[in-house]
Amino acid sequence: MPPVIKVLVVIVEKVVVSIGGSILIPDDRDSVFIKELASVLKELSVNVNMVIVCGGGKIARYYTNTGKELGGTTEQRDILGIGATRLNAELLRIALGNDAFDGIPENAKDAAAAFGKGKIVVMGGTSPGHTTDAVAAEVAGLIGCRRIINATSVDAVYSDDPKKDRNAERFAELTIEELSKIVYDEHDAGRSSVFDPVGVKIAMRDRINILVVNGRDLDEMRNAILGNKIKGTVIRS
């Protein structure tokens, strides 16, 4: 009788997370939150290959605004913003310790090359002209990942800013075309919306779904990373 060959197929999921700077650095016991987040990411990285793209938050805003007051061009202010995102990425890398990839990739290609080597790839911005949401979309496209998690300070996509308009409609699901009508059209240094317009175009082109979740809710983050049901908005592409 021929020997029985058993093939064990282990399916490792992949995901790209775009985490807003204001989530990572809430300006209140920041190291406590970063440690908790890192511990969830470490635990899930056993089954899910991840790229975490960190936003610049308040620090980016400080630099892009100060750059504006000094008469800096959009590109110069973008470069300041990128610096802040990379600083935040370094903080998360420290918290992840040995589980983090060694170094911060400077562009999407380098991130794709670092991906899948058993470590969590952590990065910030890359080049002027967009935000870290677009970086996440670009990396997802390169590594063939169909899902981006956008960890933000709101718990879902709304028709308007829910902090300003209490009647704003909350969406459980949207198509990428519907999302593209909600986001602003043009990039400007430090300007923010639910997802960067350049990122929306890449997600549309590469058919990447975007999950918008409250990044401070670590149970929600866990569900989004594992592909379970979320409370936030699912944007289908």
Closer residue to ligand UTP (CB): 187 or 236? 187
Closer residue to ligand UTP (CB): 41 or 105? 105
Structure tokens at 101: 């990839």
Shortest distance (Å) from residue 5 CB to ligand UTP? 47
Q: How far apart are CA 215 and CA 19, in angstroms?
A: 7
Q: How far apart are CA 148 and CA 91, in angstroms?
A: 21
Shortest distance (Å) from residue 158 CB to ligand UTP? 15
The structure tokens 């998360």 sit at 92
Closer residue to ligand UTP (CB): 9 or 70? 70
**Which amino acid is present at 140?**
A
Shortest distance (Å) from residue 57 CB to ligand UTP? 6
Closer residue to ligand UTP (CB): 78 or 155? 78
Shortest distance (Å) from residue 109 CB to ligand UTP? 13
With CB atoms as reference, the residue minimizing the distance to ligand UTP is: 81
One DSSP character per residue, 60-114 reads HHHHHHHHHHTT--HHHHHHHHHHHHHHHHHHHHHHHGGGB-SS--SSHHHHHHH
Vertex 63 angle, CA 122 and 36, to 5°: 35
CA distances from 61 to 22, 109, 199, 219 (A): 10, 27, 20, 28
**Residues that bind ligand UTP in the complex, under the rule CB under 6 A:** 20-21, 55-56, 60, 64, 77-78, 81-82, 85, 125-128, 130-133, 135, 189-190, 192
Closer residue to ligand UTP (CB): 63 or 171? 63
Shortest distance (Å) from residue 24 CB to ligand UTP? 9
Is-contact 88 23, C-beta < 8 A? no
Shortest distance (Å) from residue 131 CB to ligand UTP? 3
Closer residue to ligand UTP (CB): 59 or 95? 59
